Structure 1
């Protein structure tokens, strides 16, 4: 008598599946919602989600060829530029006047990079669609709740509305991978509804930053969808060129801004401060003043309080030409590399790049830990979406007639 072969249980695989499901639920669903209520949610929940994903990959052994992947990242042009930027930031600790604060910031940046690499290696090569659908559901629910909170002026957990503003910025970033996933699955009607919900939530926010970021992302999304090869190149050149030639901006923009807003306008005064810094310390454009000086210097009189709060100024003021060139090359290579992604996902990635870059240029606190964490989460989500594209259509059922 032949006995049927019984399938033996695999506790490790079951535990890995549960941990992975929980990790993606935190990353895709819980993070957008919790960011609306507490400012620390992202910094606490994102590392927890990555730890769960890493544990899952260790249990089932899904993280394969880790050394080859790391080597490919490190030896690419963008990876080399990133390593140069990190090393130069570390070297700037020698001449920064705020050594303890700068060291802490560099440590946080290194920690975020390691967290991102761990999450990148832990994301399985084939993502389940059930896990990825948690993202648009979480973003959509967060948008609806954000609209209600914006109408009420905040919640009892956040009476000043600071967490709400940060949550809206997170929605402005996370809506693009959610739209990319829905579009890749042919759910364009749901994608339009989700985009409208996030746009209404951003419109009701007191600060205009989320809306400006969405507008920049929408422009680049349309450009990339219309021309998948030319769009990323133009966007990459614009982003890298704007950063590379940033010290010329106060000289070029001040007459225009003064004519539009007046000589005494805050933006005009900010550009004048930037212009005077370039004229008075031209040699400092080579080395920069060291990490953390753009922010801390305002409190100690080293930098005027009305100096620009923008990524373009901070990179040049802290890291000089070496940091600016390395960052520009890193941006350009990252943006141009999007051409190798699927046509259904590339516009969403480009829109997220443009949204994050626009927010950094418009004065968001790019030196804060939550911003670095948000960017790492954004990258990991797109990695998961890209690995969920191994099948875009369902197989057709074939009916065989029996005669």
Structure 2
């Protein structure tokens, strides 16, 4: 007589499940809500969530083959370009005039990269749907709360409205993985409602930056959804090409800006400053001025206050041709590799790329820690959603007749 199997309790697996649920609740629910009220919420909650995920993976052993995964990332073209970019940023400490501040920034960049790798390895190979449904709930609730805050322009926790602007930018970034998950589950009406709520909040924000980033992402989403292969390649080429050939922009756009906006407009003035910097120091285009010189240079009079506040100018000014070339390769390889994801997730990934890139080009503080943390959170959420696509339809039962 066969004995019935007795299922014994596994305290490690139970503890890991609780820690993992808490970690994803922080990333999916607490981060979009708390970012509307506190500027430090994202920087504090994201590392805590990654720590919880790493502990959960250590308890139940869900992180399989970590060395193989790290080696595959390191030897890929995008991984090598990222390493070159980080090493060149470290080498630029030799000629930067702001060594203490640049060293701190390099340490922050290294910490963000390590946090992203740890979170990538800690995300389980198969995500539970119950954990992933927390994301659209958190983004939707944050959007509903953000709309009246955007109308008033601030909250009692944030009288100046600085946290609200950062919170709306974070919300615009997290919208795309939320839409990808809802669309992959056939909940298109909920996805449309979520997108409308976030769009209204972004439109009502005092600074139009969140709405511009959302519009750029929406445009790329439509193009990539209709032409997956061509759309992703065009997106990668546009982002990489714009970064690589950015020094040509002040010469090409300056006459257009003078004619349309006027020579005394802020845009025309910033383009003029950029052009003078290139003409006065052409050799600096090769090496750059060193890490942290773009922002600190304005404070100490090395750069005019009217110099461009954009990722394109700052990367070239600080790291030169080597940094720009490595960044271009990294961007293109990241976009092309993301093209291989499922059709329900790929367009949203491209839209998130375009949204983040547009925000960086339009003047978001790309050197600040909260921005790097937001990008790490965005990447980890997309990794989780991709690993939740292992089964999108229920298996059908097949009845066979016995002879």
| TM-score over 0.5 (shorter chain) | yes
Once the two structures are superposed, what CA deviation does each residue of 1:243-273 show, in whole Å capped at 9, x if it has no partner? 1110010000011011111111111100000
Distance 1:26 1:306 in 2: 39
Once the two structures are superposed, what CA deviation does each residue of 1:191-232 show, in whole Å capped at 9, x if it has no partner? 000000000000000001000000000010011001110001
Distance 1:182 1:8 in 2: 36
Kindly state the Cα deviation for residue 150 of structure 1 after the two structures are TM-superposed.
1.2
Distance 2:307 2:339 in 1: 37
Number of residue pairs matched by the alignment: 402
Q: Which residue of 1 aligns with 2:214?
A: 214
Q: Are 1:388 and 2:384 an aligned pair?
A: no
Secondary structure, aligned partner of 2:116:
helix
Distance 2:397 2:142 in 1: 38
Distance 1:170 1:143 in 2: 11
- Matched ranges for 1:126-145 at <5 A: 126-145=126-145
Secondary structure, aligned partner of 2:299:
coil
Distance 2:110 2:188 in 1: 38
- Matched ranges for 1:90-129 at <5 A: 90-129=90-129
| Residues 400 and 72 of structure 1, relative CA distance in 2, 3 Å threshold | closer
Q: Which residue of 1 aligns with 2:240?
A: 240
Normalised by the size of structure 1, how large is the TM-score? 0.98
Distance 1:201 1:382 in 2: 23
Q: Which residue of 2 aligns with 1:294?
A: 294
- Matched ranges for 1:186-335 at <5 A: 186-335=186-335
Q: Which residue of 1 aligns with 2:357?
A: 357
Q: Which residue of 1 aligns with 2:76?
A: 76
Contact conserved, 2:180 with 2:345, CA < 8 A, in 1? yes
Contact conserved, 2:240 with 2:332, CA < 8 A, in 1? yes
Distance 1:267 1:175 in 2: 30
Distance 1:33 1:280 in 2: 47
Distance 2:257 2:293 in 1: 27
Distance 1:311 1:368 in 2: 12
Distance 1:76 1:64 in 2: 20
Distance 1:259 1:197 in 2: 38
Q: Which residue of 2 aligns with 1:376?
A: 376
Q: Are 1:31 and 2:31 an aligned pair?
A: yes
Normalised by the size of structure 2, how large is the TM-score? 0.98
Distance 1:14 1:88 in 2: 44
CA-atom RMSD, angstroms?
Answer: 1.4
Secondary structure, aligned partner of 1:297:
helix
Q: Which residue of 1 aligns with 2:340?
A: 340
| Structure 1 portions without partners, runs of 5+ | none
